[in-house]
Copies of this chain bind each other. A is one copy, B any other.
């Protein structure tokens, strides 16, 4: 997934040359009306509203908070792999978040007797206290951003988002080139 921003090792399908196209069709493309642009602007606001809280209160970064959110809800220890699966974060990102959280005393790793390659992760008492402090605050941010919206509006919104995701997932064909 996501192979964004890899400037020079791209293998351009057409050798990076623009098509010979001197006729100036003046394509009518307006960024401000472009759906993905609006999604980005929306996403940026949403994600900043959250990170303000955990960044301000505990200097945590998004990956750390997400890791904490998963561990906080779990009963026993979890493997890093499960966090990767459930957070949809890259495994490198999870690895580093875990490392940092361990350094800060927010989580503990124990050897996994069932599999010597992995560790079982869980929040320390301190980490759990942070979680118990943060989770309600972040739920409050969620409540705030959704205030004035009905259940149905929200579920419709999410349903549309899901349909869009499905549209993108089904077949990578026909998207140019």
Check B61 against A5 for contact (C-beta < 8 Å): yes
Residue A110 at the chain B interface, CB threshold 8 Å: no
Q: How far is the CA of A175 from the CA of B22 in the complex (A)?
A: 54
> Which residue of the partner chain, among B31, B127, B135, B145, contacts A27 with CB atoms under 8 Å?
B135
Report Cα–Cα, A84/B174, bound state, in Å. Answer: 32
Write out the residue numbers on chain B whose beta carbons fall within 8 Å of the beta carbon of A117. Answer: none
**Docked-complex contact A62 and B7, CB < 8 angstroms:** no
- Decide yes or no whether A149 CB sits under 8 A from chain B: yes
Q: Given A56-B10, A145-B164, A160-B157, check contact A31 B69 (CB 8 Å).
A: yes
How many interface residues does A have (CB within 8 Å)? 103
Instruction: Determine the chain B residues whose CB is within 8 A of the CB of A73 once the complex forms.
Output: 28-31
CA–CA, A72 and B29, complex, Å: 8
Task: Choose among B6, B49, B88 the residue that contacts A41 (Cβ–Cβ < 8 A).
Answer: B88
Are A160 and B168 in contact, CB atoms less than 8 angstroms apart?
no
26 contacts between A and B (CB under 8 A): A1-B48, A5-B51, A5-B55, A7-B61, A8-B59, A12-B58, A12-B59, A14-B57, A19-B132, A20-B129, A21-B133, A24-B128, A27-B131, A29-B138, A34-B139, A34-B142, A36-B49, A36-B50, A38-B158, A41-B165, A42-B165, A45-B165, A57-B176, A147-B167, A148-B163, A156-B157
Other 19 A-B pairs with CB < 8 A, given A7-B100, A156-B157: A2-B44, A4-B62, A5-B55, A10-B59, A21-B129, A24-B128, A27-B132, A29-B72, A29-B138, A31-B69, A35-B154, A39-B161, A43-B43, A45-B168, A53-B175, A53-B176, A138-B176, A144-B168, A156-B156
